[in-house]
Each structure stands twice: as structure tokens, then as C-alpha cells.
A and B are shown apart, each in its own frame.
Chain A
Amino acid sequence: MNDPAENSLQDNGRYAFFVGCTVAYKLPHIEAACRYVMDTLALHPVDLPFSCCPDPNGVHSYSAELWATLAARNLALAEEQVLDIVTVCNGCYSTLKYCRALLKNDADLRKRVNQRLKTVGRHFIGNNRVLHFYQLLYEHVGYDRLQQLVVNPLTDLKIAVHYGCHCLRPKQMGPPENPENPQWLWQFVERVLGAETVHYLDETQCCGAGLREMNREISLDLTRRKIQQMEEMGANAILVPCPSCYQQFDTGQRLLLRSDNKEINGIAVFYQAELLAIAMGANPESIGIQFHLIKPDLNLLQTEKTPPTARSLSQG
């Protein structure tokens, strides 16, 4: 893990907050949880007029040139303010980080893109960093500090983690650990949340979101497969660092549960910051837990908080 003293983000605590289309205009309760966590950590998100990242699947498949151009504008916007970017979505993270590397390494592409940006008065250099919200927690704040801020350990949860493809692969994206055997989310579950981790076979497999619009059947078959494995291992919650995966598990499970051949019972899914906020003492209603389609069992989230001291005494 990085030494927090070494990074500028810890020094000034300000960064460009890249909310992204899915969270801003589909799942704003995820944004509420992220802002609650940042507020608790005394970090300051700066809102800028970003567009869609754009989508690393649909828009990239349509035109790589367009994909890199709009990503460069978003990167330039943060750079104008001398800010690093924090994204809350695997897709936005993948697009911005990947395009930043492409643009820095390919002088011809950079030249073409900057010619276009010039017509709208912008310029890409690429001196700022792109961070994922999970990285902010894992590499910059650190689990030890997070653990100290937990007043409501989630000891009743048996959590299956799902990383999501775009924060693991391709390997040049530089995930903090081997993409075939990542550790950082289940360690978060155990060390920070105080919950139990439930490991399952396809932990690093795709959730199916990438084919949601293109081929609903394949997309939901992948979701069902993962849910079945999590249920077999006794999970009562899923933790994801990506709103697109969240949407796939939440909306996707509802579709599966309403189908004739459902083959699953349903497990509530949470974005990483939602469980952290609740563990830090947030009222689940105030961060929009009621907007989940697969309704979580609020008793498992220990909404009637026991003071940590009394809890440790009773456990001791």
C-alpha cells in the first residue's frame, strides 16, 4: 500500500469528482453514499461539467477515435483545475485511465485529438491521475484509518465480492493485485466492515452487464450463474465497486426473479461506499437504501446501533 504522506491527494484532499451517467442519472443513491464517505473523511469533491466518460463498450465499439476525443475533453477539464480525477464507476475508470495512457503513448493520436479540442478551447496534456473510488479507500486513505471510523460493524453480513472486469483487466490497467486473484475487496469486507467474506468460484468473472442491451439472454445467464454460486456458498449480500455491475445484479436479479425459470432466491447488492457509509453510522434511509430493487434486510445492517464499546464487551 502507498504511503499516504507521499500523495498529493491526501495533502489537499480536493479532486475532480467524476460521477458518470449511471450514478448521476440512474442510481443517485450511490452518489449519496460516496459523498457521505468523502465528507466523513474530510475529502472535497469538485463538480465539473463532465460529459459521458464515454462508455468503454458501446461508444468504444462505435468509434475509438470518438471515444478517445471525448475522454480527452473530460481529462482536460480536470487538468485545467489542476485536479486528479476520482471516478465511482469501473467503466468511467477504464475509459479515462485507458485513454489517458493511449493519448500519452501515441503522439499521432494526441495530435489529432488536441486539434479537435483546440476548436472548443481545450488541451490535453495528461499530468493528472485517474483514481477509482476503491483506490481512494485502499491506497490513499488506507483500511486502518477506515477501520477507526467504523461505529457500526456489519457482523451479520456474509458478503460475496464482485470486482467487475474493468477494474481488473486488461492487466496494463495495473490493478493493485494479480487480476486472477485479487484481495482488496474481501480484505475491505473483513478488515473495515467487520463482516464475513464468502468466496465463490467465479469471483473475477463478468456480471454480464456488457451485453445487457445487445443480448439480454446471455447477459442474464451470466448474472444467474454468479448469483447461484454466491447462494450456494451462503452469501446474504453482494459488494461491488461499480454501478454498472450493481445495476446488473439489482435490475438483473429482479428480471430473473420474475421469470418462469428463475433458479435463484435473490441477494441484496450494495455499492462499496453504501456499506462503508452504513458502517460509519449513516442512516440507511438518508443514503437511499429504499431505492434498491432487491430489498436488503435492514436488520442485517444493524440500524439500531450498539455503541462499539458495549459490542466489544459483549463479544469479549
Chain B
Amino acid sequence: METNAYKKIKQLLNVCYQCGTCVSTCAAGLVNPGKNIRKLIQNLVNSEKEFKPKENDLIWLCTTCYQCEDRCPEGIPLTTLLIQLKNMAVEEGIIPTSIRKEIETLTVHSFTYPPAKSIVSRRRRLALPELPRPDNSEIQTLIKLARSSDEATNSEESKT
């Protein structure tokens, strides 16, 4: 099944002529040659119509430094496309542990770092004001609404 979102991503990637600027500029690739974004693009362009997150797990080795996106001579917004692919993987239930935990913390505390007691007392020692806290139920409502919209978009695309 080819979703509209994936179709659009592949259309953008189709103009890639494999020059390798992305791989030579990739931060993660600099220290880990296994992170070859040029090959990732090649795989996606040559692949079947469906995006298979498990066969393309290199998408998760991205620091979001945006160097490939800024330097691509064809102007392909690569970092943004990798993020869209990660969103698609999440929709299929493939969520790395660190991201799953981050979303759980965000849902419970409205922050990605919960206010630890030791830090709250450190704030007092530094004479910092107590920051106004958001209403957690407001944040939870928005998370729920945004996620149900993701699911709706997904099921709509599955029908087409």
C-alpha cells in the first residue's frame, strides 16, 4: 500500500543523482560510516511502493543537524523527509524506547524532564522564581487530539 505521504517523499527523492554530498556532510556518518544516507535514499527510490521502517532503520541515526538538508545541491529537504519517515514508522508502532519514554514523560509532566526535587531545591538556592506550571490536563487534551488526528489521516490514506 502506498500512502500519499510516502508518494510525496519519493517524488522529492527521485531527483537525487547520488552525488554523496549528504553522506559526506552527515554528522553521524562522520563517526559511523555505517550511517550512509546516500544509500538510504537509493534504497527508498528503488524500493517497492511501501515504506518498510524495519529495513530502513538508519532513519533513527540522525542528530537533526540539518547539514544534509542545507547542502543538498538538489535542494531536497532531507532532514525533514527523515523526520516524516520516522513519523510513518511511529504510525506502524515502531517507536524507539528513548522516544517512547520521552512521550510518556511529556504526557505526565508536560515537560520532557520532570522537575526533580534536587533541582527544585537548587533553584531555590540560586534564588530563582518558581515557574508557573501548565495545566497538565490541557496538555494531555492536546496530545490526545493531535494523536487521534494522526490516526485519522493514516486510516484515510489506507482507504485510497
Contact = CB atoms under 8 A, between A and B. Distances in A.
Contacts of B134: 49-51
A117 B146 CA distance: 10
- Give the dominant DSSP class at A's interface: helix
Query: Which of B35, B66, B98 has the largest number of chain A CB atoms within 10 A?
Result: B66
Interface string B4-18: 000000000000000
A221 B147 contact: no
Given A61-B86, A208-B27, A218 B141 contact: no
A38 interface: no
A214 B60 contact: yes
B155 to A, nearest CB: 14
Interface stretch (A65-73, A133-141, A262-270, A301-309): A65-73
A69 B145 CA distance: 9
B122 A63 contact: no
Contacts of A26: 113, 119
A215 B60 CA distance: 9
Contact of B90 (A62, A218, A287): A62
Contacts of A147: none
Given A69-B145, A117-B142, A25 B116 contact: yes
A221 B32 contact: yes
B146 A65 contact: yes
A28 B65 CA distance: 25
Interface residues on A, range: 35 or more
Q: Which 9 A-B pairs have the closest CB atoms?
A: A210-B63, A169-B66, A213-B98, A221-B31, A206-B27, A206-B65, A66-B146, A61-B86, A165-B65
22 contacts: A19-B131, A25-B113, A31-B128, A47-B131, A54-B106, A57-B63, A62-B99, A63-B146, A65-B153, A73-B138, A116-B142, A165-B27, A170-B69, A170-B70, A206-B63, A210-B27, A210-B62, A211-B63, A218-B31, A218-B32, A218-B61, A222-B31
Interface of B: 27-28, 30-32, 35, 60-67, 69-70, 77, 79-80, 83-84, 86-87, 90, 95-96, 98-99, 102-103, 106, 110-116, 119, 122-123, 126-129, 131-135, 138-139, 141-143, 145-147, 149-150, 153
Interface of A: 19, 21-22, 24-26, 28-29, 31-32, 35, 47-52, 54-66, 69-70, 73, 112, 116-117, 119-120, 165-166, 168-171, 179, 205-206, 208-211, 213-215, 217-219, 221-222, 225, 287-288, 291
